[in-house]
Amino acid sequence: MNLRELIALAKEEVASDLHLEPGLCAVLRVRGNLRSVGEPLPPQLVLEWAREMIGADHWPEFLERRSFDLSRSIEGLRCRINILQTSRGVGFAIRLLPAFQPTIEGLNLHPDLKQLVEHPHGLILISGATGSGKSTTLAALIQTINLTDARHIVTIESPIEFTFRPKRAFIRQREVGRDTPSFEQALLDSLREDPDVLVVGELREPETMRLTMNAAETGHLVLATVHSANCAEALQRIINAFPSEIQTNIAAQMADCLIGVVSQKLQFRPNLNICVPECEVLMANMAVKNFIRNRDFFKIISSIETGAEYGMWSYQRYRAWLDKRPNFHVAAREVMAEEEETSTSPRPLPQILPKARPHAVSAEPAKPGVADPGRIEIEPTEMFEKILKRPS
């Protein structure tokens, strides 16, 4: 098998990840479980795939860092790819992104989450474990703004996963390593770029966290992701990332700028044959702000349990809401129906979601200054042209 065939197999098996390691069989992660497929991969073959994927220009960078991040469209799927050096040679960790345009409705999220992005400024955190769908939920919130509000959005990602084209919003996307040297530099630059909304792909370093909170305090709506198991842990992780002597100041800053935290995990539903996000939602009311300021994170759990009137959801209540939900959006069925109609009819592809146009796919890397046709995109409309032409 070549790389395309392995990704096509992963797509057919509805896998979330594909792992390739020299001398071992390819491994798929399907509904959280790992499964080996095919024959052991020759080390030289995997190395050739890595060289072709990275390209000659960036190969010295890989040799220096021993890892490389990129995204590509292969076999109709957007793939987030990490190429890494291991004890056996050069391997791949490939995340297969959804083949549909993410929206709150399409991801079966609670519609109240849309209220988060109605705020003009402040900080929204999306948390969860690796592979819990944080990036997809973040994309759905960006899409909500794009469909409803004329705001300037600047995203900072590593790498870019979903590429948005403006509808009502004006969107700029910057990829760390390609368009900017670091998250920190991009955040500093963004304050001179007149943004209304900033999107930070991941909070890893204390300096990135500090600049993110500064941006939220200075009149911008900021959305970011962080790895954690629940909402309280997300806040605690950020504050504890700083030296102990300034944690009190950081906690006060977090309390002042926080809008809310969404923590999520994916739960497979056999009756639908899909994974559905189960969420814990924390809204920053006065009581929660006081707990953050005093670093009483253990008290946040009880606030979530009793905070339904403020729009908060515990995992248990959210799961009960899902159990009572009558209808679910099953994107995989719509994609399959689209592919079947395409194979038997020359007519244009049907829309997967309202107002969404079909997209082409390509396994070739995007050329500088040219949009990658394989990314999931949103086409501009007449409304966007009116926004550009509107007198200041």
Q: Give the pLDDT confidence of 244-274 residue by residue, as tens digits.
A: 999 999 999 999 999 999 999 998 888 888 8
Residue 382 lies in a domain: no
Residue 181 lies in a domain: yes
Q: Which of 225, 310, 293, 297 is nearest to 261 (CA)?
A: 225
**Of 272, 297, 324, which marks where a domain is finished?**
324
Residue 243 lies in a domain: yes
Range of the domain at 302: 111-324
Same domain (yes/no): 129, 77: no
Same domain (yes/no): 139, 77: no
- pLDDT reading at 323 higher than 70: yes
**Of 32, 62, 96, which marks where a domain is finished?**
96
Q: Which of 378, 343, 340, 341 is nearest to 358 (CA)?
A: 378
pTM reported for the whole predicted model: 0.76
- pLDDT reading at 191 higher than 70: yes
Same domain (yes/no): 49, 144: no
SS3 185: helix
Same domain (yes/no): 121, 150: yes
Residue 384 lies in a domain: no
Residue 67 lies in a domain: yes
pLDDT of residue 154: 97
Same domain (yes/no): 21, 123: no
Same domain (yes/no): 171, 291: yes
Residue 173 lies in a domain: yes
What's the CATH code of the domain at 61?
A: 3.30.450.90
Same domain (yes/no): 37, 179: no
Same domain (yes/no): 164, 40: no
The average pLDDT across 205-213 equals 96
Q: Which of 22, 81, 76, 19 is nearest to 52 (CA)?
A: 81
Report d(CA 9, CA 20) in Å as an integer. 13
Q: Which residue has the higher pLDDT, 162 or 238?
A: 238
Give residue 351's identity as a one-letter amino acid code.
Q
- Joined together, the tokens standing for residue 163 give 């590429």
Residue 369 lies in a domain: no
State pLDDT tens for residues 137-184: 999 999 999 999 999 999 999 888 888 878 999 999 999 988 999 999
pLDDT of residue 268: 86
- Min mean pLDDT across 113-122, 135-144, 322-331 is at 322-331
Q: 100 with 11: CB under 8 angstroms?
A: no
Q: 15 with 96: CB under 8 angstroms?
A: yes
CA dihedral (117, 213, 231, 94) in degrees, to 10, reads 80
Same domain (yes/no): 194, 313: yes
State pLDDT tens for residues 218-229: 999 999 999 999
**Of 324, 348, 379, which marks where a domain is finished?**
324
pLDDT of residue 178: 87
The average pLDDT across 207-214 equals 96
Q: Which residues of 117-148 are buried (b: 16+ CB within 10 A; e: fewer)?
A: beeebbbbbbbbeeebbbbbbbbbbbbbbbee
pLDDT of residue 345: 36
The conformation of residue 219, written as its DSSP 8-state character, comes to T
pLDDT of residue 354: 37
- Min mean pLDDT across 166-180, 334-348, 372-386 is at 334-348
Q: Which of 141, 187, 139, 189 is nearest to 164 (CA)?
A: 139
Report d(CA 270, CA 386) in Å as an integer. 46
Same domain (yes/no): 144, 267: yes
Same domain (yes/no): 90, 217: no
pLDDT category at 331 given cuts 50, 70, 90 is low
Same domain (yes/no): 167, 249: yes
The average pLDDT across 113-139 equals 94
- Min mean pLDDT across 73-82, 85-94, 185-194, 358-367 is at 358-367
Reported residue count of the chain is 392
Distance, CA of 82 to chain centre? 15
pLDDT of residue 362: 37
pLDDT category at 241 given cuts 50, 70, 90 is very high
User: Could you give the number of structural domains in the chain?
Assistant: 2
pLDDT category at 3 given cuts 50, 70, 90 is very high
Residue 178 lies in a domain: yes
What's the CATH code of the domain at 136?
A: 3.40.50.300
Report d(CA 174, CA 181) in Å as an integer. 10
